Every structure is written in structure tokens, then in C-alpha cells.
Amino acid sequence: MTDDTEKKKRRLKKAMDTDSRLMAHQHCPIDGKAIPMSEEFCSPACQEKYQSMMKKRKFTIMLFYAATIMFIILILISGGST
């Protein structure tokens, strides 16, 4: 039992040593590379990809809303003629 306790203590100490060597960082939202906390992207190319992705996402959301509104209007118009 003492041997297991010693192993756990060594693993814990090693983990604590590793954590103290890591600097505060975040990850690029496109490719996941570690970057400083003061930056949002690792490169201008990733920033462009992100902006392009956001434009496509906004377009898709607007298209969904427009389709939903058109569907509701269609239901209201067809329901009123009965």
C-alpha cells in the first residue's frame, strides 16, 4: 500500500511541475494552435477564414428566418381562405 501512495505522490508532483511551466494561453478558433492571451488568431489567414465563416453563418441564419417567415405567411394566407 505504501508503494501505491508513493507512486501517486510522484505523479502529483510531476503534474504540478508541468502545470507551473505552462504559460497562460488560448487557442486559435480555426486551427487550434496555442496563442498568447492578447491575440485572437494565430495568423491573418486564420482571421480571414473566421470572418468568411461568420459571413456564411449570418447568411444561413437570415435565410432560415426568411424561410420561416414565408412559411408562416403561407399558412396564414391558406388558412384564411378556407
Report domain extents, the chain.
44-82
User: pLDDT tens-digit profile of 5-33?
Assistant: 777 677 766 665 555 566 788 999 999 99
Our CA angle for 20, 37, 40, nearest 5°, is: 145
User: pLDDT tens-digit profile of 22-79?
Assistant: 678 899 999 999 999 899 999 999 999 999 999 999 999 999 999 999 999 999 999 8
Q: The pTM is what?
A: 0.60
Q: Which residues are within 8 A (CB) of 34 and not within 5 positions of it... i.e. 6 or more apart? A: 25, 26, 27
